Amino acid sequence: MMHNAIELAIQRGWKVFPLIHRSRFSMEQPLLTQATTSIEQVDEWHRQYPDCLWAVATGEDSGVFAVEFSRNSGIQTMRSLCEDDFSAMDTLQIRTSKQVTMFFHWPEEGLPAPRRQQIAEGIAIRHEGGYAWLPADVEESGGEYMYSNPTESPKDAPGWLLNLAHQKFSTGRAAAVVPFPSSKPSTHIVALSFAMRDNRWACEFISMEDGGLIVKTLFFRSARTVLLLAERGGLAMNAANRKWLHSSIRNGGGKLLLTLTNEQYEKLLAA
């Protein structure tokens, strides 16, 4: 018999599985690759492992990823990075005495997969091939893992958080490319690092397809050019991203990931 938290997860389209090894530090979870939305399979697992805790397999198939913030350094880091954009707090959350886990929609452009899941001090990401623990129930009291509001839904991740993940990816060189949908076969993924130097904006374009190779460094006098580069490079200029970008410019620099067409990429190389 399913408990409410698993049923709620399946209703959201999440693939779930039982945690045979309870420790977060276990080398592997044997049933992770078999995560399912099948009620029949879940009932069978309940019979086989009646005392197991459960988890959601994060990634594109479940349409969700999770970010874990430790109660001490993680929350403090978030406050220092979010530039007063606390929209992340409106998403579905699981809280424990030591951490807060926030769930977000899997972005259309995918997510990088760094070797280390920690993307900043006290902040870890559970992405493709990972998992996040589920509460023992959906009640708001009792148990170690609790939904802060079980009726809340995952939201789109704020721009500052996605940029943080991409920055970790670009500096860590953990993978060759960000996994874009097959409908975009002619795009090039380029990291843009911009900083004010000698009253000019130094823009370094770093190819993610060549192991982090700097393919071009250009200098511009106006910050407006940096904004145009971000817009033309596919950065979704919603309120959160625009606020983050303007704040980075005021602070003298930042990093973001651009998606360039073949034509845009050739123009960059020829500039």
Rounded CA gap, 58 and 39, in Å? Answer: 18
Residues 221 and 125 in one domain: no
Rounded CA gap, 218 and 43, in Å? Answer: 59
Residues 141 and 43 in one domain: yes
15: in domain: yes
Q: Report the first-to-last Cα separation within the chain, whole angstroms.
A: 63
Strand, helix or coil for residue 260: strand
Range of the domain at 32: 4-156
253: in domain: yes
255: in domain: yes
Q: Who has greater pLDDT, 235 or 62?
A: 62
> What's the DSSP call for residue 138?
S
Among 128, 156, 184, the domain-final residue is 156
Among 101, 124, 156, the domain-final residue is 156
Task: Say if residues 54 and 127 touch (Cβ distance below 8 Å).
Answer: no
Q: pLDDT confidence of 9, banded at 50, 70, 90?
A: very high
Q: pLDDT confidence of 267, banded at 50, 70, 90?
A: confident
Most confidently modeled of 39-48, 155-164, 213-222, 223-232? 39-48
Among 126, 156, 186, the domain-final residue is 156
Q: How many domains does the chain have?
A: 2
Q: pLDDT confidence of 184, banded at 50, 70, 90?
A: very low
Residues 151 and 218 in one domain: no
Rounded CA gap, 91 and 232, in Å? Answer: 29
169: in domain: no
Mean pLDDT of all residues in the chain?
77
The owner of tokens 């690759």 is 33
Residue 178's pLDDT is 31
Residue 141's pLDDT is 43
Residues 240 and 151 in one domain: no
Average the pLDDT over 102-125 and give the result.
Answer: 79
150: in domain: yes
Residues 195 and 109 in one domain: no
Average the pLDDT over 233-247 and give the result.
Answer: 66
Residues 119 and 180 in one domain: no
Q: Who has greater pLDDT, 246 or 112?
A: 246
User: pLDDT (tens digit, 9 = 90+) per residue, 189-235?
Assistant: 777 888 888 888 888 888 766 656 777 888 888 888 888 877 766 55
Check pLDDT > 80 for residue 180: no
Average the pLDDT over 114-142 and give the result.
Answer: 75
